[in-house]
Amino acid sequence: MRKIIFITLILSINMSYAQKLPFSNQRISYFYYINLAELSITKNNFVLALSYYDSAFRVVSNPRDNDIYNKAVCYRKMDNDRIADSLFALLATKGFRKSKILNCFDTLKTPILQRQAIIVNNQNLDEIFEKIFNNDQKVNSYRYINMEMYAQKVIEHVKYIKDLSSSIDNLLAYDVGGRLWLPIFHFFQLKAIAERVKNDTLFKKKYTVYRCLEHFDFNEIKFYEFLKEEVVKGNYNNETFTELIKEMGYEFGMPVSQFDEFIIVRSPTVLCKDELQYINKNREIFGLETYENFYQKARYTDSLLTNGRPFSALEKDEYIKLYIDFNTQCNYNITENYRTMMEYTKPEDAQNVYERNLSNLCPK
């Protein structure tokens, strides 16, 4: 689970001008087959899932590592250890979730090779990624002490990432360890807050620490446009991208929200029609499956995670333990970030927020 070290703001923006990303027909077909494969997994039909994975991998040359992983798990479920191990070894060699991958080997028959180092300006690319991550964490600790300095450093980090891409084709595809995720996330977070400061006088007056952000132009380096292009080319995971741009106000749907012991399960049948259409439009723009399909995958995942108690109310510590245990084992990863859990000092505050959210549902 990624650790977000910052204030989270709920923003709203005008989405009327959002245009569907110009994915190639091949990439659209890829998303289509991957969705069918994952839906087949939710029905425990691994033979059908594998046939869809085969179809997906035939239409693009750069399948997502997570999809290769899920395909390998299918082979493991069908006791085809030879193919499963070869795929797991490929992913481990690349560095994809290596600690989890090692739990997928019954017996390590396929060698895990050392990935060939990529050198940029006499530096190892993996070490560059690690340095960017460490620098981000270092300056992040000063965010409330010197917000202006922090913002400048955040912009410098993503500008450096973008500049590196001019030297290395498909740069972001090499970040299999996800070291660039937080530095990029912090950029989008500050970008969203800066827009709020510029356009919301009350917000600017209340949160004085952010006032300096109105003097920064987060659009100047066109990093959002750069990342969109990488998503379209398949060099950056579109699901990861949507997690980042939620900070900009995009709504993609959240199946489960828990406020202390109060829980709301937002099945497609209880969302208002306009809200469901709005969510699905946003999901379509970025190549995601429909909310209905997402909900089905989330319920399946939560059933595995909670040992057959999908979408049940859990103590936060219990849920975190279940989440960590599940994600360190050789389990499918067909959906993430489908449950939010909020804690309150006063029980009545939790109930009030729960009731407000409940009133927004539209039972059919």
Q: What is the residue extent of each domain of the chain?
A: 25-102, 119-248, 256-359
CA 269 – CA 283 distance, rounded (Å): 18
Angle, helices 65-77/46-59, rounded to nearest 10 degrees: 150
Whole-Å CA distances, 357 to 257, 265, 283, 350? 9, 11, 22, 11
Residue 3 has pLDDT above 50, yes or no: no
pLDDT at 36: 98
Residue 224 neighbours by CB distance under 10 Å:
18
Q: Which listed CATH number (3.40.50.300, 1.25.40.10, 1.10.260.40, 3.40.50.720) goes with 25-102?
A: 1.25.40.10
| Residue 223 or 14, more confident | 223
- What would the mean pLDDT of 141-161 be, rounded to a whole number? 93
pLDDT at 112: 64
**Residue 11: band (very low, low, confident or very high) from pLDDT cuts 50, 70, 90:** very low
Query: What does the pLDDT look like over 69-100, one tens digit per residue?
Result: 999 999 999 999 889 988 998 888 888 887 78
Residue 178 neighbours by CB distance under 10 Å:
15
Give the percent of the chain with pLDDT over 70: 91
Please tell me the pTM assigned to this model: 0.88
Helix/strand/coil (H/E/C) assignment for every residue in 229-244: HHHHHCCCCHHHHHHH
pLDDT at 55: 98
Residue 6 has pLDDT above 50, yes or no: no
Residue 336 has pLDDT above 60, yes or no: yes
* Helix residue ranges per DSSP H, 46-180: 46-59, 65-77, 81-94, 98-102, 125-140, 147-165
pLDDT at 13: 41
Average pLDDT, the chain: 88
List CB contacts of 74: < 8 A, sequence separation 6 or more.
41, 46, 49, 50, 53
- What would the mean pLDDT of 103-123 be, rounded to a whole number? 69
- What would the mean pLDDT of 297-313 be, rounded to a whole number? 94
Query: What does the pLDDT look like over 242-283, one tens digit per residue?
Result: 999 888 888 999 999 999 999 999 999 999 999 999 999 999
